Amino acid sequence: MTTPETERALLESLIVENEDLEKLESKLAQFNIFEAIGVVRQELRHSNFLAFLLNPSENHRLDDIFLKRFLKRVLLEEYEPTDEKYTKVSPVDIDIADFTDADVRREWQNIDILIHSPRNKLVCAIENKIDAGESIDQLIKYQRTVKEEFKDCRAILIYLTPVGELPSQKNWRIYNYSKIAEIIDSICISYESTLGTDIYTLMSHYSTLIRRHIVSDSEVAELCRKIYTKHKQALDLIFEHRPDLQSEIATKIHELLIRETDSKEITVHFWSKGYIGIIPKRWEENKLNLHLQFENSPQELIIRMLICPNEDKSIREKIYKISQKNLPLFKKKPLTAQWTTIYTKPILKPKDYEDADLEELMNKVEEFWRHFIKNDFVIIENIINTNIDEIICKDISVHPES
C-alpha cells in the first residue's frame, strides 16, 4: 500500500524535468478550433464536418474534389464482398464522373452519412464509429434500406472507424481516420490558394485533431504511450482521482436543487454521486420514510420515489394503499418488505450520453426539473400531505391490496 509521501513522490517524478511531458504539453498547447468547441470524440460532430467536406454544394470552394478523392481512396482498399452489386464501381469511374449533383444527407434512415448522385446512379452509405460499437443487425438494416430505396444505383458501403475495425458484414468497406487525415493534408497542399485562409485553417485544424485524438499511430499517441510506460503508477493515481461525468452531473444537480428549492419546504440530501434526494420537510418530520431521489448512474439518470423499509409496517401499508388509488401517476407494483418503487421517470437515457457534453446534458435535466416541480411533484406532494394524518394514525389497520 502506498503512503501519501510515496504518492507525492510519484507525482513529482511525473511533472519535474520530464522532457516527454513538456513536449506533449507543447504540442497540445497549440490552439485547435475543434478542441476549443469540444468536438474531440463526439461522433455526431465528426459526421457533421465530414458531410460538410463531402458535399459539393457547401461553401468550402472544393466542389466535388474531396468527395471524389475520398471515394477513389476507399475503392483502392482491399475488398471481398458477398454481393457483386458492391463491386461495380471503380476508382476510374469516380475520377471521370461529375458529382456536383450529389445529395449528401445526415442521419437519413439513421445512416450517419448518405451520398446520392442521380446523374451517376451511385449511392454511398457511411457508418461512422468513434468509440461506440455496432448495434445488433445495424449494418444489415442499413444495407437493406440502401438496396430497397436505390434499386437502380450502384452502391458503396463504408465502415469508418479510428483504426479500420472489421465490420460484421463483408459488403462494407473498411476505412480509417488516419487516411481521412491524409486526404485532408493532400488537399490542403494542392489547393491552398483556392481554399482561402478560412477553409484551409479549418481543414488543417481538423487533420490535427484526428492525429492528436483519434488515430493511434500519431506522434502524440506515441508520446502518451512512452510517458504512461515510464510513469504508470502516477498516471493511474491521477486517473483514479479524475473528475468524471457522473460526479460532475451529480454536483450540478445538487447545485440546481439547492438553488431551486431554497424557498420551498424541501430538504436536499447529497447521499452520493449516485443518489441525490429531494424530500419535503413535512414527510421527514412525520417519519414517513418516503424517498424521492435522483438516481445518477454513468449512462442513465432517473427520478424515483420509494417506500423505504420501516419498523412501523402500518405506515408502509397505508402509503402503498394511497399510491395504488392514484394510478397511473404511481406504479402498479406489489409492496415488498424492503424498498418498493411507486414512481419513476427517465431523465437521461444512454443515447443522450453518446455525443453530449455536460452543458447539453444539464440543459435536459433543468428542462425536466422545471416541468416536474410544477406538475408531478405538486400532485405527489398534495396526495401524500392530504392523507398524512391517516398515514401516521396508529390505530387504523390497513392492508395492501393484492
Q: Would you state the pLDDT for residue 395?
A: 47
Residues in the chain: 402
User: 3-state class of 303 per DSSP?
Assistant: strand
To 10 degrees, what angle do helices 65-75 and 177-190 make?
140
Once rounded to an integer, what is the mean pLDDT over residues 108-126?
Answer: 96
DSSP 134: P
CA atoms of 350 and 275, how far apart (whole Å): 18
Cell of 50: 465530414
| % of the chain residues with pLDDT over 70 | 96
Once rounded to an integer, what is the mean pLDDT over residues 206-211?
Answer: 92
- The 10s digit of each residue's pLDDT in 285-326 is 988 889 999 999 988 999 999 999 876 788 889 999 999 999
Q: Beta strand 154-161 with 122-128: parallel, antiparallel or unpaired?
A: parallel
Q: Is the pLDDT of residue 400 over 70?
A: no
Amino acid in the structure at residue 296: N
Cβ contacts of 235-241, under 8 Å, gap ≥ 24 = 235/14, 237/7, 237/10, 237/11, 238/11
CA atoms of 250 and 295, how far apart (whole Å): 9
Q: Would you state the pLDDT for residue 401?
A: 45
CA atoms of 148 and 145, how far apart (whole Å): 5
Predicted TM-score (pTM) of the model is: 0.60
Chain position carrying cell 460499437? 133
Beta bridge partners, 308, equal: none
Q: Would you state the pLDDT for residue 261?
A: 86
Longest Cα–Cα distance in the chain: 90
Q: Would you state the pLDDT for residue 402?
A: 39
Cell of 140: 444489415
Enclosing H/E stretch for 202: helix 192-209
Closest to 283 in 3D by CA, of 134, 383, 169: 383
- The 10s digit of each residue's pLDDT in 224-280 is 888 888 888 888 887 777 778 899 999 999 999 999 887 778 999 999 999 999 999
